[in-house]
Structure 1
Amino acid sequence: MENFYTARVHGFPNLTGGLSAEQMTQEGALSLVVVLGSSVSLVGLVFAFITYSLFSDLRNLSGTALMNLLAALFMVQLLYVIGVGGVQDPELCIALGFSLQYIRLTVFCWLTAMTYDMYSSFRDNLNLVPMADPQISYSFWKYSLFGWGTPLLLLAGAIVLQLRQKAGNLLDTAKMQHTNCWFLDHDAFVFGFVLPVLVLLVAVIVFLARSAVTARFTVSMQVDRRTREKMRRKRYLQLFLFLKVTALISTVAALGALAKLTGINAFWVAFNVGHGLQGIAVALCVACNCQVLKIYTRTMRRRRRCNSSGKAAKYWPVGPSSELSKSASLQLLTWEPTPDAV
């Protein structure tokens, strides 16, 4: 009897079709990898989301957009786990297929919004310390409308295509159940997901390329060598971070598209493993880079300094001498004005 951990991953031969013991062992091991990898990915995405929500230095416009991307990836991983063992109920299968397509489109829309925000930040801020954006709330609402609203329009088009392909019978889910209800039928998948994702990826690549050119130009404008090196390090760190996240997400989406359109088992294996592990890979990229770790250490030093100063204040005497001992001002250390003679 199949349970949640040993349920077969569709795309492989049927377990009741006379598989050898070795094939059944490999399929069960892959199912276990998918479930465990997805569980670890969910924990990693939650950790990354909490990290960006706790530190005020990360709660800027770029960090808030990244939090929305992490939330969308979390929903993708959660819905993906629901279909691992196969979905037999037609209504649940339809709901799962449409929900996954919407959330996957949301991931790519937020990725596009993040790369555009990086490009506009590099273009408008020519200094190492970025200028405060007075319209940050207005920009965030625009990103939110694009990130969560555009997939709704694409999903509406996918529903129309799904109805046309099924001749008005939306609950005919035989083909969808073969792929664990992770994908819609051919027309709804190609025209409602693959083509829009290709357009979004082209936009992401364009923004990444323009950001690299803009970063190189702004870095070369700096006169001071230390400022120039520090700006180059910060700009390229953010650029490579978005490049890695884009490569991870697009690779998994490409494997899923190839597995759906070709039906080759090798692509199904790679897609299942990649999709199960993409959450933890993205979480490690965004939450364990040197910039975030620097914020960690700076916050810990600040708290340690506050604690030590609070303990020392209990033993300091009250009076002018205590003010002098706690002060770092050169004016007080040189006794200006000169004290009266005794």
Structure 2
Amino acid sequence: MRRTLPPTSSLACFESTVRLGSVTLAAEELGLTQSAVSKRLSGLEELLGRKLFTREQRQLIPAPAAREYAKEVSEIINRLEISTARLISHGRQGGVLTVAILPTFGARWLVPRLNEFLSENPLIEINLISKISPFDFENEITDVAIHFGLPQWDKAHCEYLMDEAVVAVCEPSLLKMGKTVMDTDEIKSHTLIQHTTRPNLWNDWLKNCGSRPTGATVGPRFEFYSHVIEAALAGIGVAVLPEFLIKKELDRGMLTLAHEYRLVCKERYYAVYPAKNSHNSNVVEFVNWLKEKCEEQAELFHRITNSGR
């Protein structure tokens, strides 16, 4: 059976042209001449039997269907590059380690510490990708994932990393003159900033704090913790956030505790990897390093708790 498989060189030219918006820039990125890129684009259009671009004032404008195709091609090319690098490094110490991370956890906790791991493991090349929800290791090229939730992931090992304590915080100007914290009724009188993927967080915090969670799910919603943090910094309202993710803002007085109560969540952080990677030296090294860093985080949490902050 004949398969419609365009040459990878043509697909690379197409993806680069759409992404950069220019044949000239695509040629520079790929180390080709403009005419070579144009020839490959024409060949791809001939193979597919449709026009992928229109010309407007000397610019190439991709058709809507071509834009969608380019997104899928980009993902495929990225996976091919990772798979090829993994094959080349197979059997050797080091190589590519693809890690799926929670966006804000990655930006605020993992990346600032990552140089230590890279210095200790110079042969390992880290490839970080952002993931919010669980996925199938069989169908996605990922060696290990950072998971927040319960230790439930089909066909995978979950290794405990650390707990999470959340606190209610706000921009200092929201506190009444002369007060260092609010009571729960005062907190509920403010806008409650919501996290889309954790819609019950305010409800849980208020109930465990001994307050009726009236109106706990009402308020502006943000998908990422980074956006929730920015909303709190902007004085939009009060937010419930993992304390370790906002340590810098608390230490600098950019945010302050709106209430002294800390809720230790039933969900926890885990390193998750497929069973087939249980003997992968890169995965083992990375997970062990994560555990070490998380133990340090736990010790810091206990010191803060015992000192009453």
TM-score (norm 1): 0.21
Q: Which has the higher strand share?
A: 2
The higher relative CO (CA closer than 8 Å, separation ≥ 6) is in 1
Larger Rg: 1
Q: Which has the higher helix share?
A: 1
